[in-house]
Structure formats: C-alpha cells, structure tokens
Amino acid sequence: MSTSRPARHVRLQSGVSVTDLTAAKTAAAGATRTALHPLRFTGTELVKIARLPLVWAFVAVFAMVNLMLAATVPANTVALHNYASAVAVTIGGRTGTDFSRKLAQVDTGSGESGNGTVADITNDTAAGGTATGVPAATNTSSSQSAAGTDDATVDSPANDASPTDAIVITARIPADSTLTDDELHRQLTAVTAGVTNTLASYDPSPMRDAVLAQVAGDPVATWLMQRKYDAYAARVTHLTATGAAMDLAAGTATDDTLLHWSRMTGYLFFETCALAVLLMALALGSERTSGTEQLLMTTRTGRRLTAPKIAAGLIASTVAYLLLVAAIVVPYLMVFDVRGVWSASVSSQFNTVFGQQPFITWWDLTIGQYLFVRLALGLAVTLCFALFTAVLGLLIRNTFAVAGCVGVAVLLVIGLVGAAHSLGLPWLAWVGGFNPVGVLLLREQWFTELGLDAPTAFWETGVTACSLAYLTAGVLLARRSFNRKDLK
C-alpha cells in the first residue's frame, strides 16, 4: 500500500525556496501572456467587426456609388482624354512649336475612330463643329502672342505631310464615341495651338494684395500672409523656369477628367470618414450592445481589451478606405489611358483653379503624384475621425450616442468656420478649422496656397499631422480615465 509523501521544502543557499522559484516563474509566464493580449485579441476584434452585416452594407453601398461615378463618364470625354494621352506618349508631352509640328504630321485616317468606323456622326461634327455633349475646345492660354507662326504650322492639315512622315496614334477610343480620329485631332490641335508659358506672365501680387487687405490691422496675420505669398511667388518663379505650364494635360480634353477625379475623391473622403466613425463606435461598443460589458470589464484583463479594440477600429478603417479607393481607381484605369497625361505637371496651364488661376502646389508634382498624395492625406484624415470616435467611445460608451456626437461636432465646425469667414474673422476660422473637418472643407485645393483659408504653406498637411498627434494623446488620456472609473 502506497502512501503519498509530503512535498519537501528545500532551501537554496540564497534563502529562496523551490516553491518560491516556481511561483515566480509562473507569475513571469502569466505576465508574458498578459502582455501579449493586445496582439492576440486584435484579430478577434477584427473578426467581430467583419461579422457585422451593417458594416458590409455600408461598404457595399459606398463602393457601388464609387463604381458608378468612376464608370459613368461620357464616351466622348473618355475619347478626348485617351487621344491626348496617346499623342503625348507618341510625340512627347511638352507643347510648343516642335509639338505642333509633330501633331500636324499625325495621320488622322479618313473618319474612323480608334476602335473602328463610326456609323453615327452628328451633323455638327461632320460639318466641322463639336460632337453632341462635348464642349468646343478652346485655347486655355491667356496669351496668344505666339499664335502667328505656330498657327500656320498647326492649322496645316495632317494630310499635307508626306506619307513617310506620317505619325500613327493608337488610342483607346470607346466604341460608342461619336468622335472620329479627325475630329479628335482637330480639337486637340485647337487646344494646343500657339500656347506660351503662361506662368511667365502670371503676376501673383494682385491676389496677394487682396488677401492682405482683408487682414489689414492685424499685424500677426499680415506677417503670416506676407511670408506665405513670398513663398508662393518663389514657387511661381521656379515653375516658370521649369516650363511646367507647357506640359500637356490636354486642356479641355482632361478638364472634365480632373474635375471628375476631384468630385470622386470628395465623395470618397466623406464616405470613408463616416465609415471610420461607424467602425470605431461598433468596435468599442460591441460588448455593451451584446449585454456582456459588465461581465467583461469587471476584470483587469477585460479592461485591457480597449487597446486591441481601438487597434482593430483603425485597421478596419484603413482596409475600408483602401477598398473604396480601389472601387474608384480600378474602373478609372480600365476606362482612361493615363500614360501620357499623368506624367504632366499638375501646374500645367491646362489645369487651373476655377478656370483661371494657375494650380500652383508647394512642391513639384505630376498629376499622378498629386492624386496619390491627395489619397494619402485622405487616409490620414479618415484615421483622425476614427481616433476622435475612439475618444468619445471611451468616455460615453454608447454606440449611437458616439455617432451622434461626432455628427454634431462636424456640423458645429462647419458652422463656426462659415460664420467666421462671413464676419471677416480669419483667426476664428483658422482656430475653428484646426481639425480634420477643417481640412475636409479645403479638399478641392489641397497643397496649394488656399487664399485666406490658410495662414501658412502646407496648412492642410500641418493641421492633419497635428490632429493625429493631439487625437492620439486624447485616446491615451481617455483610456486611462476609462481604466480608473467604475462602470455604471
């Protein structure tokens, strides 16, 4: 018959027992497991978000809207853009005398479109007018001083060139476009005829004086505006020297396209910000919604779940943003040929603000690069909304109340900024707009001088960076407060 022997209590030379050593090892292992909780539970929280039908319903609706915006572009607009892009790839994208000479040598065919013979051509087009639904192409240059010799060269028909000198353009023209190759060539010729370096004759001082007049009497605002417009004048001088204004952004052939991009991304940013609010509110309020918050948050480990919940909300917001961006970019690239146009300077004379003011950015950007940094800034703004929702979620702990508070805060900022501008109080507008909402209000002209809406260069970028910093600090403080207070 065997009997159990009592455990022997062995003393080490240091005075620490084996039992104590075992307990210490167990505690260390437990501490390690506790430290891994944020990493281990982030995936679980992401799964919770992914299982919510409401989330996918919003994503699907927004994606369908973006797909429709990206795909429903008039065929003639696509034809003009793609023809100009193909021309830029073939003969170069810098306009001028050499460009006009090569453009005159382009073989326009005999009334065929890029995808085959077009059967239905409007009478106006056949007569040399403009196709239905397409505005007549006009020279966007403010100076026509060089039109003399260039026009004589440009207006010469392409058929005048010898067959050996003919240049063939292969463009992706939609099958339902009513524009023939000859009409596309004629409109592009009219757009680029006799263009000059418009930035060389552009004087930013009238705009500078107008803005300074609005802040007269405020020495600090006046000093800030003077420094900003000194930097702006230096940018104009630099871009003039680089010849950025002469890059072919295809004039009226791409105006609609650039406006199309601006309109699409404008919708995108509002969609993704709203979705970020929803995702973060749901991530933090899932236990309260299911009725398990009291049970979970009574333990120390349960309270530590706020970190993986916030991380899951930020990751989900980023993924949703990328999905909605893909819903714009993928169909856009399937429809439009961007090879020649996206490599042009965004400050080309064919891309203007309000149809007249040059689009001067604070550093040299092509059209493709500008659209990329625009989308990058949009992601940062979206994450700001997610962080703001996290702060409110930790303090309020009610999903619907959090979403409502965010909506009220957005409306208050919009009203404050609008009222400040109406009353002529620039400082109130700058302080009131020092947040992600204020950045969204300036989305049409990001990375430009922004007029009275910004006291410094790179205002939207600086405000977004500062917003990320103070909202992150706000999340840390709100989480500390949440961990220390009792649940009610």
pLDDT in tens, 165-184: 688 888 888 888 888 888 88
Return the pLDDT at 389. Answer: 95
Q: What is the mean pLDDT of residues 252-256?
A: 51
Return the pLDDT at 484. Answer: 73
Is residue 17 scored above 60 in pLDDT? Answer: no
Return the pLDDT at 382. Answer: 96
Q: How confident is the model at residue 127 (pLDDT cuts 50, 70, 90)?
A: very low
Give the DSSP letter string of 66-111. HHHHHH---HHHHHHHHHHHHHHHHH-SB-SHHHHHHHHTEE--SS
Name the token pair of 115. Answer: 């995808």
First and final CA of the chain: distance in angstroms? Answer: 59
Are 438 and 450 within 8 A, CB to CB? no
Is residue 251 scored above 90 in pLDDT? Answer: no
Is residue 4 scored above 90 in pLDDT? Answer: no
Q: How confident is the model at residue 488 (pLDDT cuts 50, 70, 90)?
A: low
Return the pLDDT at 38. Answer: 52
Condensed to tens digits (0 to 9), the pLDDT of residues 157-166 reads: 434 444 456 8
Q: How confident is the model at residue 487 (pLDDT cuts 50, 70, 90)?
A: low
Query: What is the rounded CA–CA span in Å between residue 395 and residue 383?
Result: 19
Sequence-distant (≥ 6) Cβ neighbours of residue 338 within 8 angstroms:
85, 368
Is residue 249 scored above 60 in pLDDT? Answer: yes
Is residue 379 scored above 50 in pLDDT? Answer: yes
Return the pLDDT at 117. Answer: 33
30 or 193, which is more confident: 193
Q: For residue 120, what is the DSSP state? A: -
Q: What percent of the chain has pLDDT over 90?
A: 36
Q: What is the mean pLDDT of residues 239-244?
A: 93
Return the pLDDT at 288. Answer: 65
The pTM for the full model equals 0.78
25 or 63, which is more confident: 63
Query: What is the rounded CA–CA span in Å between residue 103 and residue 229?
Result: 38
For 183, the enclosing helix (H) or strand (E) is helix 181-192
For 35, the enclosing helix (H) or strand (E) is helix 18-35
Is residue 36 scored above 70 in pLDDT? Answer: no
Return the pLDDT at 74. Answer: 81
Q: At what angle do helices 18-35 and 37-50 cross, to 10 degrees?
A: 40
Is residue 13 scored above 50 in pLDDT? Answer: no
Q: For residue 10, what is the DSSP state? A: P
Condensed to tens digits (0 to 9), the pLDDT of residues 391-444 reads: 998 888 778 888 899 999 999 999 999 999 888 899 999 999 999 999 999 988
Least confident segment among 8-17, 185-194, 369-378, 454-463: 8-17
Return the pLDDT at 209. Answer: 93
